[in-house]
A = this chain, B = another copy of it.
Amino acid sequence: MTNDPSFVCIVDDDASIRQALAGLLRSVGLTVFAYPSTEDFLHDARPVGAGCLVLDVRLPGQSGLEFQRELEGMGIHLPVIFITGHGDIPMSVTAMKAGALEFLTKPFRDQDLLDAVHKAIELDRERRRDDAALSELRERFRSLTPREREIMLLVAAGQLNKQIAAALNLSEITIKVHRAQVMRKMQAKSLPDLVRIADKVSSLPFRFSGAEL
């Protein structure tokens, strides 16, 4: 079931902690990549599969909290688990609000980290699945011509062919032709199917895919 590759990235400036964490995680069969800084993490090739990021809050230069926000801004949605030796409550609250999965204070029990890591990987796996499905749909939507996209959205909005024809000042048969092409290209097997696809591809992120191109 879950035999696709998974990994854990560690970013901590303390080499002994990196080694300890990496050892612990490898001991349960996880693939681990450890970095002394966020730059090193970013410069490394992105690992394949589902994974998570174990991040020290306090890092030289950019803090772990800032880096968390930066990753989101870059569209990298890897689940983040914070660890810290000198944290405080506002820090943990900020991290959790920003979507961190866990915020552990040293010393923590090994099992707590392992639990968090496994949960994070499972979560990332699901997110990646959903992302892949959505990307596939967006790709199909992108393959539509502007006219086809326009008509698809009106169809999904519940407009009749004749209403669409009137709105766009076209004949009804033209709508039918485009509509058939939309069903084919989007691989929709029924109108309800198309409606659900339309609602997914035109959900807020990448709204421009409906307007541009």
Contact = CB atoms under 8 A, between A and B. Distances in A.
Q: How large is the interface on A (under 10, 10 to 19, 20 to 34, 35 or more residues)?
A: 20 to 34
Q: Is the interface of A mostly helix, strand, loop or mixed?
A: helix
B92 A190 contact: no
Interface string A142-173: 00000000000001111100000000000000
Contact of A96 (B97, B156, B157, B158): B97
Interface string A24-45: 0000000000000000000000
Contacts of A89: 87-89, 92, 103, 105
Copies of this chain: 2
B93 A156 contact: no
Contacts of A191: 158, 191-192, 195
Nearest to A91: B89
A72 interface: no
> Which residue among A89, A90, A191 has the maximum number of chain B CB atoms within 10 Å of its CB?
A89
A158 B190 contact: yes
Contact of A196 (B93, B193, B195): B195
Interface in A12-60: none
Contacts of A105: 89-90
Contacts of A196: 195, 199
Interface of A: 87-90, 92-93, 96-97, 102-103, 105, 155-159, 189-193, 195-196, 199
Given A192-B195, A195-B195, 6 more contacts: A88-B89, A92-B96, A93-B102, A158-B192, A159-B190, A191-B191
27 contacts: A87-B89, A88-B89, A89-B89, A89-B92, A89-B103, A89-B105, A90-B105, A92-B92, A92-B93, A92-B96, A93-B96, A93-B102, A93-B103, A96-B96, A96-B97, A156-B192, A157-B192, A158-B190, A158-B191, A158-B192, A158-B193, A159-B190, A191-B191, A192-B192, A195-B195, A195-B196, A196-B199
